Amino acid sequence: MTASLEQLRRCHFAVDLGAARTRVFVKGAGLIVDQPSVAAVNTRTGALIAVGEFAEKMTGRTPHYIRVVRPVSGGTVVDIEMAQRMLRQLLGDKVRRTLRRKPRLRAAACTPHDADPLAQRAAVETLVGLGARRVELVDTLIAAGVGCGLPVEQPEATMIMVCGAAATQVAVLSLGSIVTAERIPVGGDAIDHAIVQHLRHQHELMLPSQSVRPLQLALSGNGLTAHGPASTEIHGRDVATGLARSVQVDTAAVRDAIQTPLTAVLDGIGKVLRVCPPDLVADLADRGIMMVGGSALLPGLDQMLRHATGMPVHIAERPEVCAVLGLGAMLEGKVEPLVLDPLAT
C-alpha cells in the first residue's frame, strides 16, 4: 500500500471516489455517504442543482440548460472542481463543520492500481479542496482485500477481483502488498453497453443503460452459463419510428452477446496466474477468488468464473462497499501489521 498503517491511523476520514458511486467513511461515525457519483448543473448560472441519486434520476430527462455530469471516470477524478462541489453537497454542512474542527485534518483515498501520478494528484487536490491538510493514498485492491476480511498482511496468497463500473482489477496479494495485478478495461458499464447494442442491432430498439436491469435479472436463472427464463419483455424506443415499443428478448442470445466483454476478464485472470509464483498459485487452488465491487453482483458471473477457472469463487458479504470499509478499518486501527519475529514483542 502507498501509505503505512501508522499514517492511516492518523487520518480522520476516508473517501472512495468510484466511477459509479462515491462513499465516505468518517472515523468514529462509520459509512455516512453512499451515493452515485453524479451532479446536475445549471449551465446558465453555474449553480449545482442536485447530486447523488436525485441527479442520477435526471440523466436523459433534463432540458438543454441542465447538464448531468460525472466528475469521476474509471476511478480517476477528471473534474476536480466539480468533484469537490459534489463531495461538499454529499457531506452536508454539519459533517463538514465537524471535520473542519479537527486539528490538521487528514484524509485517505482509494486509487486504482495503475493510477498514474496525474490521477493520484487529482485525488489529492480534490480532498485538499475539502480542507484536508494531508492526504494518504491506498491502492483499491489492498483496501478491498481488507474490507472483505482477507488475511492481506499474512504470508499467504489471496486473489481478489474488484469488479467496478468502468474496469475490473485482478490481483494476488501477500504480506500486505500486491504480488501481481492486471487491470481489464471491462466493467459493469461494458456489460450494459453490450446489452444495449444487442437490442439496437437485433431488435431495432433503443434504451438507456439504466433500463437493462430487468434483462439482467432475467439472465440470473441458474447463471450466465445455464438456461434461465426463455425470454423477457423489454420496453424502449423504436429506432425507425421513434415510438415506444415492447419486444420479447431471447435471454440466451443476450448471454451470447455479453460473453465478449466477459472473455476479456477471463484473459486478465489467466495473465495474472501465469506470472504469479508457483507457491502462491498453490495457495489459490484452495482459497480461490474473492469478488468485490458493485458489478460482482451481476447474476451468474461467479458461476461463469468458477466454470472457466476451476477455482473456488466467492462473493464478499457487502461487495459494493468493501474498499471504503477496508479504509475505515485501517483508520480505526483494526488491521494489525505482520510481526516477523514474535520474540521481538
| DSSP symbols for 165-191 | SS-EEEEEEETTEEEEEEEES--HHHH
Backbone torsions φ then ψ of 36, nearest 5 degrees:
-60, 145
Q: Are residues 88 and 215 in the same domain?
A: no
Taking the model in full, what pTM does it have? 0.85
Q: Are residues 139 and 241 in the same domain?
A: no
Q: Are residues 297 and 197 in the same domain?
A: yes
Query: Parallel, antiparallel, or unpaired for β 76-77 and 72-73?
Result: antiparallel
CA gap 313, 159 in Å, rounded: 10
Q: Are residues 135 and 226 in the same domain?
A: no
Residue 2, burial from CB neighbour count under 10 angstroms (0-12, 13-18, 19+) = middle
CA terminus-to-terminus distance, the chain: 24
User: For residue range 282-318, what is the model confidence (pLDDT) as tens digits?
Assistant: 888 888 999 999 888 877 788 888 888 888 999 999 8
Is residue 163 one of the residues assigned to a domain? Answer: no
Residues of the chain where predicted confidence (pLDDT) is lower than 70: 1-2, 208-211, 213-229, 337-345
Number of domains in the chain: 2
Q: Are residues 288 and 330 in the same domain?
A: no
Is residue 130 one of the residues assigned to a domain? Answer: yes
Domain that holds residue 198: 177-315
Q: How many CB atoms lie within 10 A of CB 277?
A: 13
User: For residue range 124-157, what is the model confidence (pLDDT) as tens digits?
Assistant: 999 999 999 999 999 999 999 999 988 888 888 8
Which of 15-54 are b and which e, b meaning 16 or more Cβ less than 10 Å from the residue's Cβ?
bbbbbbbbbbbbbeeebebbbbbbbbbeeeeeebbbbbee
Residue 241, burial from CB neighbour count under 10 angstroms (0-12, 13-18, 19+) = exposed
